[in-house]
Amino acid sequence: MKKLLSILGATALVVSAPLSVASCKKKVIHNIDDEFDYQALKNELMDKASEVFYRNLNEDFGKCKNISNDEAKEIFTFISIDNLKNHEEDPELNNPDSQIFKSISNDVNSIVNFNKLNEDITEEIINQLNYRPLLQGIGNPFKSYELTNIAIKTQSEVVSLSFDYVANLEMVIDGKGEIQNETIAYKWTFNIFEKKDIAESIKALNENIRQEISNSANDFIYLQDSGNLKTNAQDIVDKKVIGNQVIEIIKKVNSENSNLKLVTDNHKFVVNQKLTQDGSIASTKINYGLEFQDDWSIYQEDSDGWFPQDYSYPKWWEELMGPVLKQEKGANEAFVSKITEPGQQWIDHQLPQTIKDKINKNSELVVSEAINHYNLAENIKSSDFQKRIQANNYDFEIDEVKDYKTIAVYGAEFSNSQVEIISSSQKNIVELDDFFVPIKQNTTFANTKKLYEEFLRASIEFQQSYLLNQAEGEIQYKNGEYVSWENWEKKHHYYVMDVKGDLEDHLVQGGDGKTYSYNEIIPQSINLKINQESDKNKAFIESSNFAVGKKSRFQSFTLLGIFGHPPDRSKFQITETMFVNPSEIVTYDYKAPEFRTYFFSSGLKFNSSKTYFSFGKREDFICSESVSNSDKTFAAKLFFNFEL
């Protein structure tokens, strides 16, 4: 039995000998809406709404960040130094029924271009099909706008009006149509100067800094081979290299200004992850090489109630994968070399013709089809990153020749820099504008082909380690009874219990003494295995998970099961090692899980097919059976060791 489990555990994804499909008699209709990940889509919508809101307000309010008192009187009806300077401690400032609150609110709202804002909301949110589930019966999710936290600060040369500008939104959060309210708020400050020349000096300084950042827009380089965009974003901040570049630019621009003293001690430098774009292809197709019977039907059962389905692999596939699955010496290197050759049959990168044309045009450049700067330039188009570039009039580009090592871009924001007006007899300090900083991520390898080969090597080693394990250990019930893997297999045929509903949050005990809910087991097991890998591999394998393909509406594996039916499901626990299997059903269409390692962490989002590696999936081991009205069992003989 140990040999059998070793084969299933090591080759549940792939084997070299012909096998048979096993499918049971009854189909189970699954409600897709129950599994639709409203929370994930809501997070994406909120990110988009926040960016649209900010971008429009920055354009409208940016004109009034630093103005003279005379300009304020021309722009506003109420807001001016005379009307603000004596109200610092006025409790009526934030009373919506007070006259001063209404006057300030009316003035602020008067400079918001709501027509432009609504056009962008329509184009970037309402008209996007992927957001439709959250907008059913709602239309425009932006329902109202308001000011909160109004404050006034008076100095000898300037009066500053600050406030939070808030958008109130509505969106559907579940399949039942329940509506939830959300808010987006940004803090703004209008500095109103008594002297026009000081206001002009501040404006000029801000504009000159922005222009100098534009001149250097292609020179903010982050060297990193990892595709984990989230950790990279933090690493950019922690290393301070680019943040210090911006400080030097600000110092250089202000060096000739005798009236303003720069204060950067309290500056903030953050990478806005909503503005990140990567150089992956949109769709990767792994050719598993399975050749199924064309006339196979789920209704053709044999005498034992099973539905055999013979299939085989083509010769080229067996020769390529056999040594890898057996983990023979040198097999991984040979495999990587083979599947990166021109015309290889394993991975179809499904490149758009425009990208193929660019690769052919610049044939002297060595690039990977899966990760390259041509993909990146295409992905940037119409993105929020590109809209920020355009809003700031930056001279930024992904050059077809020079940027052959660039694999991603990040949008950073430099804020909280201050200047002191030293021409004044009293100390006056005001904040400079926030500055957008575009960053290019370059690989340290000679080219992206070498980078991609290293990713494949690390992914193969990790997937071998995670998936190809022998079965060891025992199942223990809380009453003390032990069941061996061998007896468990014979008794339960590897059926997988559906833990939907009230069992979804059922807790199980891991061998490390910690307790996990079912929906934590898979990510926990993956993270544990990743942490055991070498630092050399870890940079490439952090974005690993099970997937069922982009055609499925499921966003992740949330249905986890244990093999078989313990006497009392509520008292079942896991000790040391337990095989657990994700199972998804899409209305009669049974989807086998596939373990993927994505190069970029963005691949994990919504089960995408962006640049990734996988050994494949096993459609031949799918099975479902309805055992009662209240219990359903699903099965897939995909074994892997969780090592909890």
Q: Which residue has the tokens 């049971």?
A: 24
Q: Where do the DSSP E strands lie in 489-604?
A: 495-497, 507-509, 515-517, 544-547, 560-562, 580-582, 584-586, 589-591, 594-598
Using CB atoms within 10 Å of the CB of residue 258, give its burial: 0 to 12 exposed, 13 to 18 middle, 19+ buried.
exposed
Task: Please tell me which residue, 346 or 626, carries the higher pLDDT value.
Answer: 346
Q: Which range (356-370, 375-389, 470-484) has the least confidence?
A: 470-484
Does the pLDDT of residue 10 top 60, yes or no?
A: no
Identify the CA nearest to 558 among candidates 587, 590, 583: 583
Does the pLDDT of residue 367 top 70, yes or no?
A: yes
Instruction: Kindly state the average pLDDT of the residues 425-448.
Output: 95
| pLDDT tens-place string over residues 296-322 | 443 444 444 444 444 455 666 667 777
CA angle 443, 444, 446 (to 5 degrees): 95
Identify the CA nearest to 586 among candidates 615, 560, 550: 550
Round to whole Å and give the CA distance between 330 and 158: 72
Residue 251 binned pLDDT confidence (cut-offs 50, 70, 90):
very high
118 is in which domain, residue-wise? 35-194
Task: Please tell me which residue, 272 or 25, carries the higher pLDDT value.
Answer: 272
φ and ψ at residue 427, rounded to 5 degrees = -75, 120
β-pair type (429-431, 260-263):
unpaired
| pLDDT tens-place string over residues 384-404 | 999 999 999 999 999 999 999
Query: Is residue 407 domain-resident?
Result: no
pTM of the model: 0.79
| pLDDT tens-place string over residues 497-545 | 333 333 333 444 444 545 555 455 567 667 878 888 888 899 999 998 8
The DSSP code for 226 is -
Task: Please tell me which residue, 472 or 163, carries the higher pLDDT value.
Answer: 163
Round to whole Å and give the CA distance between 510 and 479: 17
pLDDT given for residue 386 in this prediction: 97
- Residue 440 contacts residue 406 (beta carbons within 8 Å): yes
Residue 3 binned pLDDT confidence (cut-offs 50, 70, 90):
very low
* 123 CB-near residues (< 8 Å, 6+ apart): none
Dihedral over Cα of 478, 484, 485, 490: its sign:
negative
Round to whole Å and give the CA distance between 428 and 413: 25
pLDDT given for residue 282 in this prediction: 75
Identify the CA nearest to 68 among candidates 199, 162, 182, 184: 199
Task: Please tell me which residue, 19 or 233, carries the higher pLDDT value.
Answer: 233
Query: Is residue 176 domain-resident?
Result: yes
pLDDT given for residue 55 in this prediction: 96
604: left (phi over 0), alpha (psi -120 to 50) or beta: alpha
SS3 state of residue 365: coil
Task: Please tell me which residue, 374 or 326, carries the higher pLDDT value.
Answer: 374
Q: Which two tokens stand for residue 533?
A: 């890998």
CA angle 411, 413, 414 (to 5 degrees): 145
Q: Which residue has the tokens 């406030």?
A: 163
For 475-490, the DSSP string reads EEBTTS-EEEHHHHHH
Average pLDDT, the chain: 76
Round to whole Å and give the CA distance between 499 and 522: 14
Q: Which two tokens stand for residue 576?
A: 């040391």
φ and ψ at residue 355, rounded to 5 degrees = -70, -40
Residue 405 binned pLDDT confidence (cut-offs 50, 70, 90):
very high
Query: Is residue 97 domain-resident?
Result: yes
- Residue 518 contacts residue 644 (beta carbons within 8 Å): no
Does the pLDDT of residue 434 top 80, yes or no?
A: yes
Task: Please tell me which residue, 637 or 169, carries the higher pLDDT value.
Answer: 169
The DSSP code for 413 is E
Identify the CA nearest to 603 among candidates 384, 284, 323, 385: 284
Burial 307-338 (b: 16+ CB within 10 A, else e): bbbebebeeebbebbbbbbeeeeebbeebbee
Distance from CA of residue 307 to its chain's centroid?
40
Query: Is residue 635 domain-resident?
Result: no
Query: Is residue 68 domain-resident?
Result: yes
Does the pLDDT of residue 580 top 80, yes or no?
A: no
* Structural domain total, the chain: 1
The DSSP code for 177 is -
Identify the CA nearest to 276 among candidates 457, 502, 441: 441
Q: Which residue has the tokens 């006025």?
A: 90
Identify the CA nearest to 448 among candidates 408, 405, 400: 405
Query: Is residue 307 domain-resident?
Result: no
Percent of the chain with pLDDT over 90: 52
Query: Is residue 279 domain-resident?
Result: no
Query: Is residue 389 domain-resident?
Result: no
Q: Which two tokens stand for residue 25?
A: 């008699």
Q: Which two tokens stand for residue 355?
A: 């990208």
Identify the CA nearest to 640 among candidates 543, 483, 522: 522
